[in-house]
Structure 1
Amino acid sequence: MATRRQLMGPNQLAWLDAALAALAPTGLTAAQQHDTVLLIIGHIRSLAQQLVHADEVSSEEWNRLAGEVLERHGHRFPALAAAIADGAFAPHGNGPLDYGLERILDGVTHLIDHS
């Protein structure tokens, strides 16, 4: 989905200001701070968009349809079939939001520690 850059309103400016203020003592450059905020927001927005579209088809229906496709065409997607069989799509831990944020923050922490 294509999006266009929009002007930020007062509320968006306030949360961006708060995020930059939280990153200010890290020693990251202003550009790195801004990029970090954009990276985190991008992760959150991506998952939010997936969740919005996930509501279009129930989990049960998706699982049924995916199962049918893999039964007929699983040989074409062996890594995907193996991942599904191993539970890759089953609920786990705190889910993709926390997993992604933890990995992003691990990387940011590494950048801070090695700058």
Structure 2
Amino acid sequence: MAIPEILFIGGLVVGAAVSSIVYLDCARREIPVKGRLLQTVVFGALSFVGFLVPHVFSSQLRYVYFQVIKPRPVAVSPYEWLAVNLATGFLIGVALLLLYFTGSRRYPLTTFSID
């Protein structure tokens, strides 16, 4: 399997997990159904796209990883680069969850009108 396919599968798995967490939190806080579905879809889709970001910006990610984080010339296995891509997508998903939890507490969706 090539890296884009693995990132696609990882994005589907983490996107579904993020969507589930957002939906359950919205249900617990009794957000209306439209707002609940809107937040679930938006954060799940953004999490999925977050896994495709490392593939789209691979040259920039390579520079940051190999020049800034790991500048010494050390042999690199292909699994290390895959792990960097997966970790980047996972960190984007975690950042989106943190953004959801802090934003939804500070600016609740119930204050906005979704008709």
TM-score by length of 2: 0.42
Bigger CA radius of gyration: 1
Richer in helix (by share): 2
